[in-house]
A and B are shown apart, each in its own frame.
Chain A
Amino acid sequence: MGLSVRLRNFFNKPYNVILVVLFILLVLLTFIPMLSIIMDTFTVHSSEVMRIRGTHLGDFTLYHWRKVLFDGENSLSIFYKPLVNTFAISFATCFIAISFGGIMAWLITRTNIKYKTMLSSLFVVPYIMPAWTLALAWLDFFRNALVGGIPGLFTTLTGIVTPNWFAYGFFPISMVQGLHYAPFAYILIGGILKNMDANLEEAAQLLHASRWQIIKKITLPMVKPAILSTFLLAFSSSMSAFAVPAFLGMPVRYQVLTTQMYRTLQGLNPGYGYLMALILIIIGVSIMLINQKVLDNRKSYTTITGKSSNVALYNLRSLRNPLSYGLMAVLLCVTVIPLITFAIESFVVEPGNYALSNFSTVFWTGEGSVDIANGEPGILRNASIFHGLLNSVMLSVICAFFAGTVGILSGYAIVHKKGTWLSSAVSHLTFFPYLLPSMAMGAIYLSFFSTPHGPIPALYGTFTILALIGSVKYLPFASKSGVNAMLQLGGQIEEAAVIMGIGWWKRMLRIIIPIQKTSFLSGYLLPYISCMRELSLFILLISPSTAVLTTMLFQYNEKGWNQYANAINLLIVVVVLLSNFVVNKLTGASIDKGIG
């Protein structure tokens, strides 16, 4: 058979076409930009020409590497201190997320605590809301006057001045991120606890193990994989988080790698920033590699079918009521109260003065006057905010559309050609963006697309680059749900249609997609919601005309216009929660499904 015939046969199959196209696109959108960022750590950039003496734009230099890594005191403050802070925060975040989420999972799945459904839904709200929501709420609540500015609600109400360590820096950053990722631990650990065969614990009980021994020797080792993956996910996420450390660390100049990256890339040393991005990527990739190594296959669950009974719920006895009410109160505090605070703060004219006479709708509907925020009109009349909202929604819809659709197609093709070289290459490539910390990925695109490459024009500052990076970044979620859906479906359903001579388009649209619509829809939903609340991915790439709500929020907050920041935040949270609610009602797909 001639090569041309073989090629034609190969490309006659839709899944082969999909795989080849995806392979080329993904190499172009992830791998090649990676090379570009490596180059950039050795290059003199325009803003650096003056600083690095005797060089010209684009020259090769080791300056960045030397300054960031090997320059004593200087490197210490530029790189090593933020690195240590990053690690400290990531560890603390993991600790808080796992202990809080784990205890919650145990309470919901294994005890007779009250209001399980309610508690379960409330508990995942911080995960649905953008991470910085709690950070802003923390500021609104615990801000102090020590670093300048106006004290928050707590100080106003109680007269107690919050110390700096409590209001800013390490402690609140870890707390806020810990609370944000706790739902993740809850979902993973709760899932295992719920599906774990009760016989495993009963067998131990019959063999004379005490309750504590059962937890220590059976239950904990069983949930260890879940704890580990929560740890790795929370660790790599909080390592690459930007918004929370920016909001809570900036007032006391508490720097982490991402904030440092933002500073240098926006400032005079992009070379430093690119280097830090590269280091973040290396750490991120190594964590995922460790993840794969550590999960020991030998001890994996054996799949013996059989009925497994439900475990008897632990009776909390006299603790039942206090725990139920206490937990409910705490969860209301971290979910509902922030929203109320944003609402209140957005109506207060003179910050810190909560007298009724000081309340006004000027930040919502005011026309803008010179004495307030440089004449910025209220957000409901503010053209630029409307523009931002429009951008946000449009961007989210576009990213969700591309990520979701490519996710379905890649899932279809990967499963179809399972076991081939091309299939596993595409499978790994679709997962690769997941390993890239958001801001580092922003830096990669900044580096690669700031100049034209062949037919690709310079995209910096355009809407296209935002849509591109968003679609690629969220592809892993969509692709994962696509692959799972296809694996679950199995090949025979489609083969039945192939035998009857039904064409590919019709097979996809009338058979495969309708059957798995819930999983496919969640492949659209996740990118949409993530994109709606994304800040660090876009912050390096926006220009005034392409600003989205989140970046505007960040800028307002930087300028100290708290009321606007709060109002916009409220807007984002409402949009996100509403979208989640609508999709949940329409499709039944929900984040906390299956626990509680």
Chain B
Amino acid sequence: MPEIVLKNVTKMYGKNAAVDHLNLVIPDHSFITLLGPSGCGKTTTLRMIAGLETPTSGEISINGEIVYSSEKGIDIPPEKRNVGFLFQNYALWPHMTVYQNITFGLENLHWAKDKMAAKAEQLMKMLKISEYKDRYPSELSGGQQQRVAIARTLSTGPKTLFMDEPLSNLDAKLRMEMRTELKRLHMETDSTFIYVTHDQLEAMTLSTKICLIKEGKLQQYAAPLTVYNEPANTFVADFIGNPSINLLTVKAGTTSGDTTELECGTLKLKFVAKEKPDKTSQTPEPGKEYILGIRPENIGISANGKIKAKIYSTLPSGMETVVKLKIDDMFLTSVVFGSVDFKVNEEVGVEIKSDKNIVFSKSEGHDLAVGEIE
């Protein structure tokens, strides 16, 4: 049975819709990320589910129970929804020690002193913060504060855990570490996680399903690899992946069977559409313009590549090298495994690998076909 269901949830700020008729089904025990650029309504969505914000219209149910419904006039306060919330700035109470912060929720539930202490000990041990028990938040580092905030949120054992960009205040190394721990935490606690982030890498690595939002509207709701390989539109394609996907404007030529000729400046490509089980690829109409999406890692550089390009710049980072290529007036980004330092203006051959190239409609941006390029 699905845990959380959003039906047509809308939030208006004046005349602007922060969240626009959002429909979402979040299964039990899943790790869902709400992903999108800042100001896209992802935090508002999270806060509405938690009950910290009241939707303008729509219906939200948690565990089969309707917690908000504009039609039925139901609005259950946040403390009765049995959810945990991890704030971006942690919101630790500065006048309470670590221990007091963690046990505050248990106090409100009138737990016995010894039970409370035991629970706090267990949480602090799990999150490795036992030694900071009597410190105040201002005496802790960012990462330690983060752990205290997690312990505090977990203390009352919520079935659902909401996290609002919890890692954005940590440095890169710590962020990496905490990602691993959050994923383990998800397994250990066996609860549903809903996670807000604008970092596509975080969304890719953590979640079971990504919910990509733009300007209050749902763009795609699917597993990370599906979102990566079969983006629903150019926005999703562009947002996911680093370096960004190459989006080329192409003109369709003659079609025969599954093969279409695509023209891009002097470049002539043959696109062979692949049949997908859940979706039928549409064949491009001759003479119309489309957008072709090619992931950088699918552009290989080799001496015998048919397409000739000039090196514009190379950015080796050890494990991989990002190469910017120039073909006439057009730029392409390629990622090559390993450290390869090309000479600027050197001429190289290019080949497009993989069958995960996407053709999008130019006017509407949505995806039409996935396929191979010969």
Chain A interface residues toward B at CB < 8 A: 197, 199-200, 202-210, 213, 217-218, 221-222, 224, 297-302, 304-309, 312
The 10 lowest CB-CB distance pairs between A and B, nearest first, are A207-B105, A306-B89, A199-B91, A306-B88, A208-B108, A304-B89, A221-B95, A199-B87, A203-B91, A299-B95
B79 and A304 contacting across the interface, CB-CB below 8 Å? no
Collect the chain A residues with CB atoms within 8 Å of residue B85's CB: 202-203, 206
A203 and B87 contacting across the interface, CB-CB below 8 Å? yes
What are 28 A-B contacts with C-beta separation under 8 Å?
A: A197-B89, A197-B91, A199-B87, A200-B91, A202-B52, A203-B91, A204-B93, A206-B52, A206-B84, A206-B85, A207-B79, A207-B155, A207-B156, A208-B156, A209-B79, A209-B104, A209-B105, A210-B108, A221-B93, A224-B95, A298-B136, A301-B138, A302-B92, A304-B89, A305-B169, A306-B87, A306-B89, A308-B89
A307 and B91 contacting across the interface, CB-CB below 8 Å? no
In Å, the complex CA distance between A206 and B83 comes to 7
**Listed residue (B52, B88, B139, B169) with the most chain A CB atoms within 10 angstroms of its CB:** B52
A304 and B95 contacting across the interface, CB-CB below 8 Å? no
A299 and B91 contacting across the interface, CB-CB below 8 Å? no
In Å, the complex CA distance between A516 and B83 comes to 47
Collect the chain B residues with CB atoms within 8 Å of residue A205's CB: 52, 77-79
CB-CB nearest in chain B for A297: B138
Q: Is B316 close to A, CB under 8 A?
A: no
In Å, the complex CA distance between A413 and B177 comes to 45
Expressed in whole angstroms, the minimum distance between the Cβ of A100 and any Cβ of chain B is: 24
B78 and A304 contacting across the interface, CB-CB below 8 Å? no
Q: Is B137 close to A, CB under 8 A?
A: yes
Q: Which of B47, B78, B138 contacts A298 (CB 8 A)?
A: B138
In Å, the complex CA distance between A375 and B168 comes to 78
**Listed residue (B84, B94, B165) with the most chain A CB atoms within 10 angstroms of its CB:** B94
CB-CB nearest in chain A for B158: A206
* B40-84 vs A, Cβ < 8 Å mask (1 yes, 0 no): 000100010010110000000000000000000000011100011
Q: Which of B78, B95, B108, B165 contacts A202 (CB 8 A)?
A: B78
B138 and A304 contacting across the interface, CB-CB below 8 Å? no
Q: Which parts of B121-146 form the interface with A (CB within 8 Å)?
A: 136-139, 142, 145
A302 and B94 contacting across the interface, CB-CB below 8 Å? yes
Given contacts A202-B78, A209-B104, A301-B94, 5 further A-B contacts (CB under 8 A): A199-B91, A207-B79, A209-B105, A307-B89, A308-B89
Q: Is B152 close to A, CB under 8 A?
A: yes
Q: Which of B95, B108, B155, B168 contacts A209 (CB 8 A)?
A: B108
In Å, the complex CA distance between A298 and B96 comes to 10
Q: Which of B94, B168, B169 contacts A299 (CB 8 A)?
A: B94
Q: Is B112 close to A, CB under 8 A?
A: no
B108 and A199 contacting across the interface, CB-CB below 8 Å? no
In the complex, which range does the number of interface residues on chain B fall in? 35 or more
In Å, the complex CA distance between A202 and B90 comes to 11
Q: Is B109 close to A, CB under 8 A?
A: yes
Collect the chain B residues with CB atoms within 8 Å of residue A305's CB: 89, 169
Q: Which of A200, A206, A308, A309 contacts B79 (CB 8 A)?
A: A206
A-B CB pair tally, cutoff 8 Å: 94
Collect the chain B residues with CB atoms within 8 Å of residue A217's CB: 104
Collect the chain B residues with CB atoms within 8 Å of residue A200's CB: 91, 93
CB-CB nearest in chain A for B105: A207
CB-CB nearest in chain A for B80: A208
Q: Which of A197, A222, A309, A312 contacts B95 (CB 8 A)?
A: A222
Expressed in whole angstroms, the minimum distance between the Cβ of A229 and any Cβ of chain B is: 16
In Å, the complex CA distance between A197 and B89 comes to 9
**Listed residue (B93, B155, B156) with the most chain A CB atoms within 10 angstroms of its CB:** B93
In Å, the complex CA distance between A340 and B368 comes to 78
In Å, the complex CA distance between A576 and B120 comes to 58
* B155-189 vs A, Cβ < 8 Å mask (1 yes, 0 no): 11000000001001100000000000000000000
Whether A306 touches B138, Cβ cut-off 8 Å, given contacts A202-B78, A203-B91, is no
In Å, the complex CA distance between A112 and B169 comes to 33
B138 and A207 contacting across the interface, CB-CB below 8 Å? no
Expressed in whole angstroms, the minimum distance between the Cβ of A507 and any Cβ of chain B is: 37
In Å, the complex CA distance between A88 and B136 comes to 36
B105 and A208 contacting across the interface, CB-CB below 8 Å? yes
A204 and B89 contacting across the interface, CB-CB below 8 Å? no
A199 and B156 contacting across the interface, CB-CB below 8 Å? no
Collect the chain A residues with CB atoms within 8 Å of residue B94's CB: 222, 299-302
A213 and B108 contacting across the interface, CB-CB below 8 Å? yes
A218 and B93 contacting across the interface, CB-CB below 8 Å? yes
Collect the chain A residues with CB atoms within 8 Å of residue B137's CB: 302
Q: Which of A304, A307, A309 contacts B145 (CB 8 A)?
A: A304
CB-CB nearest in chain B for A311: B52
Collect the chain A residues with CB atoms within 8 Å of residue B165's CB: 306
Q: Which of B87, B90, B109, B145 contacts A208 (CB 8 A)?
A: B109
**Listed residue (A207, A210, A300, A304) with the most chain B CB atoms within 10 angstroms of its CB:** A207
Expressed in whole angstroms, the minimum distance between the Cβ of A136 and any Cβ of chain B is: 42
In Å, the complex CA distance between A309 and B54 comes to 13
B104 and A307 contacting across the interface, CB-CB below 8 Å? no
B139 and A306 contacting across the interface, CB-CB below 8 Å? no
Expressed in whole angstroms, the minimum distance between the Cβ of A198 and any Cβ of chain B is: 9
A302 and B79 contacting across the interface, CB-CB below 8 Å? no
Expressed in whole angstroms, the minimum distance between the Cβ of B326 and any Cβ of chain A is: 37
Whether A199 touches B89, Cβ cut-off 8 Å, given contacts A207-B155, A208-B109, is yes
**Listed residue (A210, A217, A221, A224) with the most chain B CB atoms within 10 angstroms of its CB:** A217
Expressed in whole angstroms, the minimum distance between the Cβ of A201 and any Cβ of chain B is: 9
Collect the chain A residues with CB atoms within 8 Å of residue B43's CB: 307
Q: Which parts of B99-117 form the interface with A (CB within 8 Å)?
A: 104-105, 108-109
In Å, the complex CA distance between A202 and B155 comes to 16
Q: Which of A207, A209, A307 contacts B88 (CB 8 A)?
A: A307
